[in-house]
Amino acid sequence: MLFIDVGGKMQFNSYVFILLFLPICISGYFSIAYFSKRWGDIFLLCSSIVFGAFLNIEGFLTLLACTIINWGEIRVLHCIKCAKIKKWILSIGIIFNIMILFWFKYFNFFVKILNDFFNQDFLLRDILLPIGISFIVFQQIAYLVDTYKRKTEDYTFIEYLLYIFYFPKLLSGPIVFSGSFMEQLKNQNRNRLNFSNISNGLNLFIIGLAKKILVADVLAKVTTWGMINSDKATSADWIIIVLAYTFQIYFDFSGYTDMAIGVSSMLNIKIPDNFNAPYRALSIPDFWKRWHITLTDFLREYVYFPLGGSKKGYWRTYINIMIVFLISGIWHGANFTFIIWGALHGCGSVIHRLIKKGYERLPILVKWGITFLSINILWALFWAKDVRQWIHILLSIVYFDKAGFSTGLIRAFEIPEYTFLLKCFRIPYGNIMIRECWMIVFLSLICCICLYFEKGLRREYKNTIMHGIGMALLFGWTVISLNAESTFVYFGF
């Protein structure tokens, strides 16, 4: 079986990372880099290796070995002048990386298909999935292609390792292209403390941490309840569970990205944003311009354009779109649910191209409603353990044969702050109407954040006393609420 092991669990939302690793890393880097930029980068690389190895030493060593092999291929590409040989080396490198990803992520899935379709009994293997392998493999492929196209300079081995294992983006991205990252490594002013970058970085880190702990982890209890009680959930329950997962995956993944960008900002390295208010999208293509932006950029640059993009006629364009989204689905996970999820997003993009003129005439609210409903339906497929459960969820909602909310679902929304407020205002704790109201209020608040306030949360703030106090209180609230460390959703992808 394939499984994930996060070992010591030094994640962004852990006391070890927040109170020990991050302060030591930042202070150590600038102390060393002040005297020697090269040794500062070596320290940063060592910190990244410690971070990765702390999560799981075996998986990290596997990734390190693959990276060294990729470096050898890159050196060969730099040295060889013959175009045909370079093309062969590039092909070998891409196939090697795809096979590595196939072995760790898809081998057991492939064996299950063989067993089911051909009535065989091939044994499944216990395979440890190195966390971050999907992101690292895409970056390795991108670097190989850029080297083949002579878009990369002759960087050092240390710089290449730091590009691959840079700890803020190691586990769940964003996918960073080599050009912008390497240029920043070469910047001679990077080894000096920049208080503006540190301030903005802290703001983003705190906001991301709050997204994860105060919102995503609460919603995770709701979706977990739904998974455990799928046979008991009512139609009304499924509506809430589907909506909860839609918000959970966003606040979880965007929270991680905010923390990654914030930490990197403190180290004077800018990494790209991955989100732009995706739930404000007015179509499926618009959604993919706002959601997981760096993955969209990678697939467009290294898959869609090489296939011919939209330059080879309508039908070829539609086929290329479907290929890109199928790859996106497969990349996310080894399950037919992910493949169908990608295929349906591809169908949505193709249909939008076909009816674009008429669709654009619709009122904005109608376009948003169609898009948001479609996203929710497809996220339910992303969350479901198999296609059969997804169909069961949709049919339960459509027929709506079971009304009313389950008590367990309502309790999943309860947080200590909620209980404290009830006691302060002397409101009966056991009143089911009060609990239901809290559930609706909680979902309404995070919906408003997604639609109206999300971009404002990540702006550059003025360093005022009131802002500092507000951020300090938010940080204290999140740290106090950090009772049990939870894994980020995209660690599984």
pLDDT in tens, 443-467: 898 998 888 877 666 666 667 788 7
The token pair at 31 is 């102390």
pLDDT surpasses 80 at 419:
no
Higher confidence at residue 339 or residue 117? 339
Give the other-Cβ count within 10 Å of 37's Cβ.
Answer: 18
Residue 1 has pLDDT above 70, yes or no: no
Q: For the whole model, what pTM was predicted?
A: 0.91
Mapped onto helix, strand or coil, the DSSP state of residue 483 is coil
What does the DSSP assignment read for 309-373? TTSS-HHHHHHHHHHHHHHHHHHH-SSHHHHHHHHHHHHHHHHHHHTHHHHHTS-HHHHHHHHHH
pLDDT band of 2, cuts 50, 70, 90: very low
Closest CA to 173 of 49, 294, 14, 332: 294
How many Å apart are CA 399 and CA 145, to the nearest integer?
50
In angstroms, the CA 211 to CA 230 distance is: 26
**Distance (Å, whole) CA 199 – CA 217:** 26
Q: Is the N-terminal amide bond of 174 cis, ω within 30° of 0?
A: yes
Q: Is 332 a catalytic residue?
A: yes
Instruction: Determine how many CB atoms are found less than 10 A away from the CB of residue 480.
Output: 10
123-126: long-range pairs with CB below 8 Å, 24+:
124/1, 125/1, 126/1, 126/3
> What is the tens place of the pLDDT at every residue in 216-272?
999 999 999 999 988 888 999 999 999 999 999 999 999 999 999 999 999 999 999
Q: Which residue has the tokens 């948003």?
A: 368
Read off the pLDDT band of 430 (50, 70, 90): low
pLDDT at 351 over 60: yes
Among residues 332, 345, 352, 392, the one annotated as catalytic is 332
Nearest partner of 58 among 124, 108, 111, 3, judged by Cα? 3
Residue 376 reports pLDDT greater than 90 = yes
> Which residues touch 285 (CB under 8 Å, ≥6 apart)?
349, 352, 353
Q: Which of 289, 306, 291 is nearest to 257 (CA)?
A: 291
Summarize pLDDT for 161-188 with one digit per residue, the tens. Answer: 999 999 999 888 799 988 889 888 888 7
pLDDT the model gives residue 59: 84
CA nearest 474: which of 167, 194, 215? 215
Instruction: Please report the pLDDT score of residue 392 as a whole number.
Output: 92
Over residues 83-96, mean pLDDT:
92
